[in-house]
Amino acid sequence: MPRGFDENEKEEIYAQLLEHGKQLFSLYGLKKTSIAELSKAAGIAQGSFYSFYSSKEDLYFAILEKEEEAIKEELAHFSPKRKADPMEAIKQLLFQTLKRVEGNPLFSQMLQEDNLQALRRKLPKERLEAHFKKDADTLTVFTNLWKEAGIEVDIQEDVLTGLFRSLFLMTLHKKEIGEAIYDETMRLMIDLIISGITAKEGNHGDY
């Protein structure tokens, strides 16, 4: 039977699991990382792992949410009004956010079908739904930034969320797009998207 831990020990073990879990999941992925490896890295017995997380998927998801919260925190402190060219500053912010997502293997793993299936099997449906709802709320941060800068956005919010989600999904296809032209392509996509969604009403065509 796993021994009990005092509050200080629990806090330290949680921190160790989050830190080493991020490293192991980033290197080996969700499927190939075992609870035995996670427990060893955190300095606890394998049986003790379940005193902290119900499964490796539970830990993986906790790490993923922590990573996303860090990005949201940065977005929350960004103010386009302080920039000489607010629109250009927002474009650059979006590009840098895409690059950060692209550079974090946890985000790309999350979008892979086998990992999504594993998370759906192991995590409560309500938790996943709440997470994806928060994702949608995060994407609307960009529209709030435009409003703050006095820029009119002429598009339905759910369509806008889908548009941004599509843009982020493109980070999974760097090789298919072409690594040599990827950054330039993404910058152009951002320019085209933002130019389109900030156009005056009536400028959008019906196709």
Whether residue 2 has pLDDT greater than 70? no
pLDDT digits (tens, 9 = 90+) for 173-193: 888 999 999 999 999 999 988
CA distance 4 to 54: 16
Which conformational region is residue 138 in: left (phi greater than 0), alpha (psi within -120 to 50 degrees), or beta?
alpha
Superfamily of domain 1-53: Homeodomain-like (1.10.10.60)
pLDDT digits (tens, 9 = 90+) for 70-85: 888 887 778 777 777 8
Q: What mean pLDDT is reported for the chain?
A: 84
Whether residue 203 has pLDDT greater than 60? no
- The CA distances from residue 143 to 61, 115, 185, in Å, are 27, 30, 22
Looking at residue 43, its pLDDT comes to 95
Q: Domain-by-domain residue ranges, the chain? A: 1-53, 55-197
Looking at residue 60, its pLDDT comes to 96
Question: What confidence category does residue 1 fall into, taking pLDDT thresholds of 50, 70 and 90?
Answer: very low
